[in-house]
Amino acid sequence: MTDDYLIESFLEMMSAERGASENTLSAYQRDLRNWKFATRNKVFLTLGTGHLEAVLATWQREGIAASTAARKLSTLKQFFLFLQTEGHRKDNPANNLDRPRQGRPLPKVLSEFEVNQLFLTAEKDISPKGVRLLCMLEILYAGGLRVSELVTLTVRSTNRRDNCLLIKGKGGRERLLPLTKPAKDMIEKWALVRELTLPKGFGSIEYHDKFLFPSSSKNGHITRERFAQLLKRLAIKAGLNPKMVSPHILRHAFATHLLSNGADLRSVQTLLGHSDISTTQIYTHVLDKRMRKLVESKHPLAN
């Protein structure tokens, strides 16, 4: 029984039983191949805890981020648990390994002024593709979507009477996001020029009505990479540092700006689609500042 066979079986299980997305499955496969390479192609069925400790120590010396090593270790633990469950191994050699220590760096965030500069710059391009970029920007900042959620939006998901977006997120979990009026208006404006940007071969109803932002990519929609590239170009035009502008940084900006303007952490967790509030807690530095300001300005003994 080869390692390749075991990995494929594991991926099939994660897809069928856990509903793992294609991106998640690709990440699992990549992690397991990295372990295979790092252990000098030793067989997974014979790997011991010592082999794994040696790999983690090597990664630490090489300066691999603790968060990356922790993710790879998590993948391996799940893989060995699968091998145990299927009766291929009696033990899980990764089970007692400590998670590599990592700090939780504060996310990079654009200020409200910088986000406004992006919008003002995007509004200057009135071409169909310019309208598309502004529409994507409006939706992204209005709802804090993951970039994969944004580019795969369907036409149907925006045609709700309650002015909400139906998002299919990680693990197939669905959530509703209320649309701001500017975002709703831009979707309507985009609908008027969308056909002008449709590539050849998109005349059929199957493609014409599926994705909100169609393209000639193999998946039929604008790719994450292309959208990120367009944002970088927009940042340069707006006089901003392109390294500080990406779809994920705009997602961080959405969450941070909501919290700084009075939203509660639970609401932001729901809007972001985080299954665990501990993921959302990276934004608590905003709450800390707000609480301190509240005490300093409102407490009767503050002055």
Given the structure tokens 């967790």, which residue do they identify?
A: 269
Task: State the Cα–Cα distance between residues 280 and 164, nearest whole angstrom.
Answer: 22
Q: How many CB atoms lie within 10 A of CB 28?
A: 22
Question: From the CA atom positions of the chain, what is the Rg in Å?
Answer: 23
The answer for residues whose C-beta is within 8 angstroms of residue 125's C-beta and 6 or more apart is 131, 133, 134
Active-site annotation, residues: 146, 170, 248, 251, 274, 283
- Stretch (H or E) spanning 271: helix 265-272
Given the structure tokens 């404006």, which residue do they identify?
A: 189
Task: State the Cα–Cα distance between residues 82 and 294, nearest whole angstrom.
Answer: 50
**90 — phi, psi (to 5°)?**
-90, -20
